[in-house]
Structure 1
């Protein structure tokens, strides 16, 4: 990469950082106001707690808006170069636009990889802490009643449905109260058959098993049996159990394969987790597409006029791609589109559209 390409790359990355600073500031302000309205109604919750909740929440929101950061930052940088006639001078000297566009596209692709492998797990961990902290601050506020908890675990032989009245986490250990366990065993045809039911005052998730306290066990056709404690084998760990309470978007990238496997073992459909996994894999392509689109809508010669309108059209197209991506994901979750098409279709279409427009603009 020559000096010219490095210069343009530095300018475009500077534009991306400026866009990130602006969007990040807006997100912080919006989240602070929203949390002040939601959590600040508690008399015992002060500004430090709200600021801490805002800090925990912001990475998850920024992760969603990062494609716009590359689009807005790229458009701003290229429009600035164009209005200063720097792009005109480069192209008049015989420098192809591909020479200073491809490095930015490659940088956006690398940033997408880092977002998926590093930022996404960090944002998921901070979002989990955000949910736990907010729940603690809002506990029993205005007479809120706890919601029932439902879990399901299983393997090739058994399926267990778990119902609890409430849950909490003590020292990293998941604790359920008012627990009912419905144990099913698969017959030779693979159909689950009900075998027994267990009622327990409390259940703690230990490595490899549930530790039940004050247990009453009932088997079909037999009288119930009481015991002070009982251990039941579990295929869940503390992290995967907590993930059952979260949406697929809140699960870290590296945890999604295990979440898919455990969900399917428990007899549920893992389609939502598979869709999220493919969407994360397609994130670098989406970032590169936004970088290419930013260049495609900013290379028109300033002296010809209409540059601002074209850049505005690029911004509008970015919003169209965002909603198209969300719409395709909704169709995939509803089994109307294949999961692969719902996750990879919008980024690939956006990238091909940008490359086509660049070919038309640059090569005629």
Structure 2
């Protein structure tokens, strides 16, 4: 067994332990602030107890860990490499003829493995738990309405029904038609439509079936409808209007957010979304960001090595570590800015998602080449 392999394994173990410790600490810190914010919002609601707030905060933990994983790799790596340098272990290794490239392979593989684990394994867990947390948040803390979902190509919508007193609920189901209707004022259409109208206590009032529904400003218009009453009587009606507060933008915004979909579910949902005529830019951006997570983690590991392996006798260690933290924040800002440009369509989705990872990797390689071979 060569010295480089043994040293690389040792450094990789130190790096992994420091990174996991930093990830745990940062996740706990962010979760604490999230918990305090949830307590503040729940203070005015008598039906929300401490247990529910704690449940919502705990369900968000995997999502928080996934979001801060690259920064945890940077800070954990800097901690590990700084300790190895301060104890002169890396200095002795270099004096023995082992280059930085030899013992950095292990930490690099650990970082890539953590990123791949986050993409392939943590993302599904995070999406399921975050979706549940959002449902609890919407039900008890936000009281949000207008729920919509896509299933098997059909769009499901829920809205208040103002035609009945006390106000009931209308549930619409249909297949979206891509594109705007240029023959009328309608901006959104559904085909093969079914509407269930329920009372405030969830008792069925009537069912409406129509070949098409058009979303006009402030109302749904159903043509050639069949109205089935509570007594199972059928009444043909050439035109039925349902008041609504929904708009195409509100319908699209109420779909499952990209964060509540796992890496493995995103491709199928993107296909369904685009076949229904909606924009899938946010979901494509999320998918590409998860793909680039291992590369971003590797870039953070190399940045940590480049900014923390300076020998203490040369001075300027604090400045180098500060520069490393600043570089990490700069990549975080770049990630947010490029994401905003990607969602706006200014940048291609692939470029917007991969730019921070590639930029960080190039910066880290340039720094290491300068320190090691320069």
TM-score (norm 2): 0.77
1:275 corresponds to which residue? 285
CA gap 1:31/1:149 in 2 versus in 1, 3 angstroms:
closer
Query: Residues of 2 paired with 1:184 and 1:128: CA distance?
Result: 24
1:106 corresponds to which residue? 109
The count of aligned residue pairs is: 328
Question: Which of 201, 209, 221 is equivalent to 2:196?
Answer: 201
Question: Which of 350, 356, 360 is equivalent to 2:370?
Answer: 360
1:178 corresponds to which residue? 170
Q: Is the 8 A contact 2:176 2:277 kept in 1?
A: no
Query: Residues of 2 paired with 1:192 and 1:154: CA distance?
Result: 28
SS in 1 for 2:264: helix
Q: Does 1:124 align with 2:119?
A: no
Query: Residues of 2 paired with 1:271 and 1:282: CA distance?
Result: 16
Question: Which of 38, 41, 46 is equivalent to 1:38?
Answer: 41
1:348 corresponds to which residue? 358
* Unaligned ranges ≥5, structure 1: 141-145, 168-175, 204-210, 231-240
Deviation at 1:266, TM superposition (A): 0.3
* Unaligned ranges ≥5, structure 2: 162-167, 199-203, 213-220, 235-250
**Cα distance per residue 1:4-29 (max 9 Å; x no partner):** 11111111112112212321221231
Q: Does 1:225 align with 2:235?
A: no
CA gap 1:213/1:122 in 2 versus in 1, 3 angstroms:
farther
CA gap 1:196/1:93 in 2 versus in 1, 3 angstroms:
closer
2:245 corresponds to which residue? none
1:138 corresponds to which residue? 141
Deviation at 1:345, TM superposition (A): 1.6
Q: Is the 8 A contact 2:308 2:321 kept in 1?
A: yes
TM-score (norm 1): 0.79
**Cα distance per residue 1:112-134 (max 9 Å; x no partner):** 11111110110010001111222
CA gap 1:43/1:225 in 2 versus in 1, 3 angstroms:
closer
CA gap 1:97/1:222 in 2 versus in 1, 3 angstroms:
closer
Deviation at 1:246, TM superposition (A): 2.4
Q: Does 1:165 align with 2:159?
A: yes
2:146 corresponds to which residue? 148
**Cα distance per residue 1:13-51 (max 9 Å; x no partner):** 121122123212212311211111112432233322222
Query: Residues of 2 paired with 1:196 and 1:5: CA distance?
Result: 62
**Cα distance per residue 1:287-331 (max 9 Å; x no partner):** 000000000001211100001110110011001001101111111
Query: Residues of 1 paired with 2:205 and 2:150: CA distance?
Result: 16
CA RMSD of aligned residues (A): 3.5
